[in-house]
Structure 1
Amino acid sequence: MSAKVANRRSERLRRRKETFLLKAMELGEFPGVDIAVVICQNGRYSTFTSVEDESWPPSMENL
């Protein structure tokens, strides 16, 4: 894969991730809805939770 194709693919994935997290934030604003998002990319984890609680999100074993 050429560097140009890899850069395009990386940029597209970054934009999709950003949009996905924005949608998760929007859903988390509804009453009674708790959102937890875990994204693993190249061994790195990105997380988002709509609840500020120590027990949320559930551990990976509980999922």
Structure 2
Amino acid sequence: MANVEIFSNQACMPTGETLPFEPPCNFYAAVAICEDYAKTPVTFIATTIAIVPLDGDKRLVVMA
């Protein structure tokens, strides 16, 4: 099951913001949805975590 959160780069922690979309349970499908929403490609991906940059100080973090 995938979990997606919006993180602050500066604070290195979740912002507590609500996601503007419902992430799918599949890790790789969640990464694809995040890339589509952010209009940027994933910058880091491993077996249980992926990072997709957002505007400014934020990033989407997908965790399995």
TM category, shorter: under 0.3
Larger Rg: 1
Give the number of the structure whose residues are more often helix, by fraction. 1
Higher relative contact order (CA 8 A, sep 6+): 2
